[in-house]
Structure 1
Amino acid sequence: MSKQELQTSKLLRDFLERHSGERLYFRDLLDDMADRAFAPVLLFCALPEALPLPIAGVSAIIGLPLMIVSIQLLLGFTKPRLPSWIANRSLKRKDFEKLINKILLILEKFESIVRPRWKFVASPLAQRILGLLFLILAIVIALPIPFGNLPPAVAIVVISLGMIEQDGVVIVLGALGACVVLVIMASVIAALFSAGFTAIQRQFK
Structure 2
Amino acid sequence: MSESTEATNLTELIQTMEQMERDAPRVSVDDIVNAVGRRSFGPLLLIAGLITLAPIIGDIPGMPTLMAALVLLVSTQLLAGRKTFWLPKWLLNRSVSRKGFDKAIHALKKPAQWIDNLLGVRLKWMTGYAGIRATALACLLVALAMPPMEFIPFSANGAGLALTLFGLGLVARDGLVLSLGFLITTATFVAILMYLL
TM-score, normalising length: structure 1: 0.75
**Aligned residue number for residue 46 of structure 2:** 43
Aligned length: 189
Deviation at 1:162?
1.4
Amino acid of the structure 2 residue aligned with 1:79:
T
Amino acid of the structure 1 residue aligned with 2:101:
F
Deviation at 1:169?
1.0
Q: Does 1:173 align with 2:180?
A: yes
Amino acid of the structure 1 residue aligned with 2:40:
A
Deviations 1:4-38 (A, max 9, x none): 46544234324423523223332232233236622
Kindly indicate whether the alpha-carbon contact (under 8 Å) linking 2:68 and 2:146 is maintained by their aligned counterparts in 1.
no
**Aligned residue number for residue 151 of structure 1:** 158
Partner of 1:161: helix, strand, or coil? helix
**Aligned residue number for residue 195 of structure 1:** none
**Aligned residue number for residue 143 of structure 2:** 138
**Aligned residue number for residue 100 of structure 1:** 105
**Aligned residue number for residue 76 of structure 1:** 81
Deviation at 1:133?
0.9
Partner of 1:24: helix, strand, or coil? strand
Unmatched 5+ stretches in structure 1: 192-205
* Structure possessing the higher radius of gyration over alpha carbons: 1
Seen in structure 2, the aligned counterparts of structure 1 residues 10 and 177 have a Cα distance that, compared at 3 Å, is: closer
Cα distance in 1 for partners of 2:61, 2:184 equals: 29
Unmatched 5+ stretches in structure 2: none
Kindly indicate whether the alpha-carbon contact (under 8 Å) linking 1:75 and 1:128 is maintained by their aligned counterparts in 2.
no
Q: Does 1:26 align with 2:29?
A: yes
Seen in structure 2, the aligned counterparts of structure 1 residues 57 and 101 have a Cα distance that, compared at 3 Å, is: farther
CA RMSD, 1 decimal: 2.9
TM-score, normalising length: structure 2: 0.77
Q: Does 1:186 align with 2:193?
A: yes
**Aligned residue number for residue 194 of structure 1:** none
Identity value in percent: 25
